[in-house]
Every structure is written in structure tokens, then in C-alpha cells.
Chains A and B, each alone.
Chain A
Amino acid sequence: GQSLEQPSEVTAVEGAIVQINCTYQTSGFYGLSWYQQHDGGAPTFLSYNALDGLEETGRFSSFLSRSDSYGYLLLQELQMKDSASYFCAVDYNNDMRFGAGTRLTVKP
């Protein structure tokens, strides 16, 4: 099966940049996704990497390196509202498997 590893918790201050890593032991997937989930809420889509390299969407960027079995989500200009859990997920074409999630706490 697949195994996705993320740090369980990350803390950063407002305005800073934070990188959340996702390493995996799987193959044959179409892409790596990132989702944000606030406590008690629905996960919302942030970014998707089908190819190696960097994808930028506003303050959020995501990176994938298949050769290194590694990806990350980069959050810039952190805001208090960014405090949430972030999940990476591998996509096996209509079969999405999620990592354990990283809880980001943004402090003033």
C-alpha cells in the first residue's frame, strides 16, 4: 500500500514562510494534491502536481519530485486564518489517499 509521511505539527508566526513536507513510499500515482481543513470543516483543495516541479497559486505553492519521492507545500505571508490541518494526498485516478496531516498553528 501507500505510505505518506508528514510532520504532525508545525508552528510559525504571522507573515512568515512555512514549508510542509510530504514523503511517500508509493508509485504509479497520477499526482500529488494538497488540501486544507479547518477544525470541524470540509477539506478544501489547494494545489495539485501532476508533473515534477513547482505549482504556484497565490500565497501557496506546491512542489513534487518523483525521483526523490517527495513533495512539499509552501505557504507564504502567513495569516492567522492559515491555522488549519494540511493533507497531502496521492491520486491513483479517482482513488485519493491522504496523509496523516500536518497541523499548522500561526501565532501573532
Chain B
Amino acid sequence: GAVVSQHPSWVICKSGTSVKIECRSLDFQATTMFWYRQFPKQSLMLMATSNEGSKATYEQGVEKDKFLINHASLTLSTLTVTSAHPEDSSFYICSALQAGASSYNSPLHFGNGTRLTVT
């Protein structure tokens, strides 16, 4: 149980275009989802916290107009990288927290990540 599906697993796009990444909780409801960015051999850097039905909370330094997050249902959050540039190339990973749970009594369930390459 507790499967998080992230799609696509990899995407190549041209500079200036937008890319949408989906994060779905398949067998549980997630009121909170998290979006991370990871550069090679580095840590997971939290970009934003997404709460179902409300605006996402962005970390300092993350442009909310560039990284659009929508969490319209209890099983789906999307991250759209708008006007992508080569420096946006990275590994993006989502995680989900089961509804009613807190991180101190329930582990985070991660998607398999999306490798974005902007040419």
C-alpha cells in the first residue's frame, strides 16, 4: 500500500516551454504533498508544500510564478515548470502524506521522480 505515482518519469523540453509533472497517491488520500528538487549527488531540497484545496506554500527563493503547483484533489498534485530554462534541468520528486496523518507518525511516501532536461 501507500503508492505514489509520478508522471512522467523523464521529459526533455525546449527552452521557453512549460512542463507539467503529476503526482498521484494511488491507494490513499493525501491532504498534503511536497515537491522537492534534487541535483546530482545532492540532497532533496523542499520547493513547496501543497495542501488540497488551498494555495501552496513555497520555500524561500522558489519562484511561485515559475513553479505552479495545483492540488485540486486528495489524490493529485501537479507541478508546472513554466518557461523552462536549462538551469531548471533537475530531478523533481514529490511525496505525499496520508490524510489524517502527521509526519511524526507516518513516513513520507515518495514518487519515483521526474528527470527534466531543458535544451
Contact = CB atoms under 8 A, between A and B. Distances in A.
The SS class assigned to the B binding surface is strand
A100 B43 CA distance: 4
Interface stretch (B12-20, B62-70, B72-80, B103-111): B103-111
A96 B104 contact: no
B33 to A, nearest CB: 11
A30 B46 contact: no
Contacts of B45: 98
Interface residues of B, number: 25
Contacts, number: 62
17 contacts: A40-B113, A41-B113, A42-B93, A42-B111, A43-B44, A44-B110, A85-B41, A87-B44, A91-B104, A93-B102, A94-B32, A94-B49, A94-B97, A95-B46, A95-B49, A96-B46, A96-B103
Interface of A: 30-31, 33, 35, 40-45, 48, 50, 85, 87, 91, 93-101, 103
Interface of B: 4, 32, 34, 41-46, 49, 91, 93, 95, 97, 102-104, 107-113, 115
